[in-house]
């Protein structure tokens, strides 16, 4: 049996994660759609139109394979996860749950490399969305990579502060 973090980073994993995050919500949002299956129509989110869904979906196998190669080439896991996430969101291949699926699989990449989870807090949502939009407007993923690093550093600093607080000696009078 394959360990959970040893699953191949491929379309089967992508579709399974999307199925799991949308199986109880998709029927309400997009009647007739099937959880874990690619969209059959062009997608939009907020003020972003993603383009021809068929040509975007056709790029998914290449994205998954190139990401797996980048992991094997020893690139920093935060950079790989951020770049994968940005390009995946650009493709927007599912009817619903693209953001959740993308964030979960970015964390899969990080966990597999022994890094902690990256949690995008509500206070950082607008910065996160802006970093994703920079990929479309400026053709650069540097903002998303920087956001991933900033978020990871802030989380580590917070956890270290909590650890220090919990480790203070108890003084008895």
In a domain, 142, yes or no: yes
pLDDT in tens, 73-114: 989 999 999 999 999 999 999 999 999 999 999 999 999 999
Is 104 within 8 Å of 162 (Cβ atoms)?
no
Whole-model pTM above 0.75?
yes
**Residues ≥6 apart with Cβ < 8 Å to 99:** 89
Residue 30 belongs to domain spanning:
4-162
For residue 1, the model assigns a pLDDT of 37
Read off the CATH number of the domain in which 50 is found: 1.10.3290.10
Domain count, the chain: 1
- Please say whether the dihedral angle defined by the alpha carbons of residues 161, 117, 131 and 97, taken in this order, is positive or negative: negative
**Residues ≥6 apart with Cβ < 8 Å to 121:** 151
In a domain, 172, yes or no: no
Q: What's the mean pLDDT when you consider all of the chain?
A: 91
In a domain, 170, yes or no: no
In a domain, 95, yes or no: yes
In a domain, 169, yes or no: no
């Amino acid at each position: 049996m394959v360990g959970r973090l040893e699953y191949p980073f491929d379309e089967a994993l992508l579709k399974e994660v999307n199925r799991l995050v949308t199986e109880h919500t998709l029927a309400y949002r997009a009647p007739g759609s099937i959880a874990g299956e690619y969209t059959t129509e062009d997608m939009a989110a907020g003020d972003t139109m993603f383009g021809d869904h068929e040509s975007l979906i056709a790029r998914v196998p290449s994205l998954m394979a190139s990401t797996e190669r980048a992991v094997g080439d020893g690139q920093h896991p935060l950079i790989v996860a951020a770049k994968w996430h940005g390009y995946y969101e650009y493709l927007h291949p599912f009817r619903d749950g693209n953001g959740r699926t993308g964030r979960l699989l970015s964390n899969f990449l990080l966990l597999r490399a022994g890094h902690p989870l990256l949690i995008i807090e509500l206070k950082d949502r607008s910065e996160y969305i802006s970093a994703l939009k920079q990929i479309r407007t400026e053709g650069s993923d540097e903002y998303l990579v920087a956001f991933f690093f900033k978020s990871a550093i802030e989380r580590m600093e917070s956890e270290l502060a909590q650890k220090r607080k919990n480790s203070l000696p108890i003084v008895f009078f």
